[in-house]
Copies of this chain bind each other. A is one copy, B any other.
Amino acid sequence: MDDTLLIREVRPWGGPAADIRIEGGRIAAIGANLAAPAGAQVMEGRGRIAIPGLVEAHTHLDKTLLGLPWYRNEVGPRLIDKIDNERRMKRALDIDPHRQSMRQALQSLGHGSTHIRSHVDVDTDHGMWGIEGVAATREKLRDLVHIELVAFPQSGLLVRPGTLELMDAALAAGAEVVGGLDPCAIDRDPKGHLDAVFGLAQKHGKPVDIHLHEPGEMGAFSMELIIERTRALGMAGRVVVSHAFCLGAPEMDALIEAIAEAGVAIMTTASPSRPVPPVLKLAKAGVVTCSGNDGIRDTWGPYGNGDMVERAMIVGLRNNLRRDDEVELGLRICTEGGARIMALPRYGLAEGCDADLVLVPAETVASLVVDRSRDRTVLRRGRVVAEGGVPVMAAP
């Protein structure tokens, strides 16, 4: 019985107090006054709210500057300025993908993220440097946090010959998801770009996650092409469009309905400075929605700390979520929404689920989001992996 843990007196999703019994890394029972089996460990929940592990559904572990000397940002305003600058800076600043992804993944774990989907750059300057580095991190942290790699053509797929072959190699080497990027604005060939991305997905039997920064009608056009391919290939539930700023433009209700029907999911960071997908509308239409912190302290910008509870607050602020039920939606997006797009089996607070939990002191779910207490206990498969922001493994 020594893998049994009884957590006394927590409030699952802010509901009535209950005990949680964990056996073999899974939730065996949730209920009032559960008995502690002989030999079981007992943890006092102190009335904290229990939520399932936070899901960081969109970040870039390979290129954070965490732990490096401060990078003074003097980059130009265009998207391509940031992309080109970053590719140059990787060697100049020694942004080693393995070391840096270790740092960020552990920091995220400290805040309670037990699952991370990371886009990882694949380009002809750096080849498989990123994929290999983050894959090594995935292995080293396997018992602490679940990391999934998206092979991501950050510098363009068709415009930089040789990238497609590298993407193919990255997927063969174990990247779990096929990435894509702005089929019109960056690759200048929407049909060609998307046929290549979905072609890789078919070849490797893997899902798709496409960065779509394109605004307004251009972005809506690319979205239509993605929907067509999702339908034609029977990939409902296996395609995510990240950012989807076009959905923040007026008159996108019909497109949102089409997204829902096609089973395409949306990732929004709820960027305060861009038009963003309206999460209340998406929820009403039945579109699976997740969120992520995107780049954290990198050459693109200095913001971010890896905390998905803070991200839930930003989702709320950006979408003007004020009612308690609305604020809670933000946290569901940062937990259950991410679990849906990562197709996590056994996710949630129910018997039989993996015991991936975060315990946070709060009066209600809404107060949990706005207070963002650091006094968190994080469990991964029933084992305490972080306490008060500090993970059990030190970062390099």
Chain A residues in contact with chain B, CB under 8 A?
A: 69-70, 72-75, 270-274, 297, 300-305, 313-314, 316-320, 322-325, 327, 363-364, 366-367, 369-371
Among the listed B271, B313, B364, which residue makes an inter-chain contact with A303, where contact means beta carbons less than 8 Å apart? B313
A302-B367, A302-B370 are known; give 16 further A-B pairs, CB within 8 A. Answer: A69-B363, A70-B363, A70-B367, A72-B324, A73-B322, A74-B324, A271-B317, A272-B317, A273-B319, A273-B320, A302-B322, A302-B324, A302-B369, A303-B313, A305-B370, A305-B371
Residues of B within 8 A of A324 (CB): 72-74, 302
Contact B303 A317 (CB under 8 A): yes
Of listed A270, A301, A313, A363, residue having the most chain B CB within 10 A? A301
Task: Show 17 residue pairs from A and B whose CB-CB distance is below 8 angstroms, ordered by the A residue.
Answer: A69-B363, A70-B363, A70-B366, A72-B364, A72-B366, A74-B323, A74-B324, A272-B272, A272-B317, A272-B318, A273-B317, A301-B322, A302-B370, A303-B313, A303-B317, A304-B370, A305-B371
Give the shortest distance, in Å, between A373 (CB) and chain B (any CB): 11
* Interchain CB contact under 8 A, B314 and A327: no
Q: Which of chain B's residues have a CB closer than 8 A to the CB of A314? A: 272, 317
Copies of this polypeptide in the complex: 2
A319 contacts across to B, CB distance below 8 A:
273
Q: Given A317-B272, A317-B303, A319-B273, are A370 and B297 neighbors across the interface (CB < 8 Å)?
A: yes
Report, nearest first, the 5 A-B pairs whose CB atoms are least far apart.
A273-B320, A272-B272, A301-B322, A272-B318, A272-B317
Q: Which of A70, A272, A364 has most B Cβ within 10 Å?
A: A272
Q: A273–B330 Cα gap in the complex (Å)? A: 14
Contacts of A364 in B (CB 8 A): 70, 72
Are B273 and A366 in contact, CB atoms less than 8 angstroms apart?
A: no
Which B residue's beta carbon lies closest to that of A371? B305
User: Which residues of B sit under 8 angstroms from A271, Cβ to Cβ?
Assistant: 317
Partner of A75, one of B274, B323, B366, B371: B323
Chain B's nearest CB lies how many Å from the CB of A323?
5
Report B-chain residues with C-beta under 8 Å of the C-beta of A317: 271-273, 303, 314
Chain B residue, CB-CB nearest to A69: B363
Q: Cβ of A75 and Cβ of B322 under 8 Å apart?
A: yes
In angstroms, Cα B225 to Cα A231, docked, is 55
User: How far apart are A16's CB and chain B's nearest CB, in angstroms?
Assistant: 16
Distance A322 CA – B323 CA, assembled complex (angstroms): 31
Residues of B close to A69: CB separation below 8 A? 363
Closest CB-CB distance, A107 to chain B, in whole Å? 12
CB distance from A61 to the nearest CB of B (A): 18
Partner of A316, one of B300, B303, B371: B303
A371 partner residues in chain B, CB cutoff 8 A: 305
CB distance from A319 to the nearest CB of B (A): 6
Taken together as a complex, chains A and B put the C-alpha atoms of A182 and B272 apart, in Å, by 25
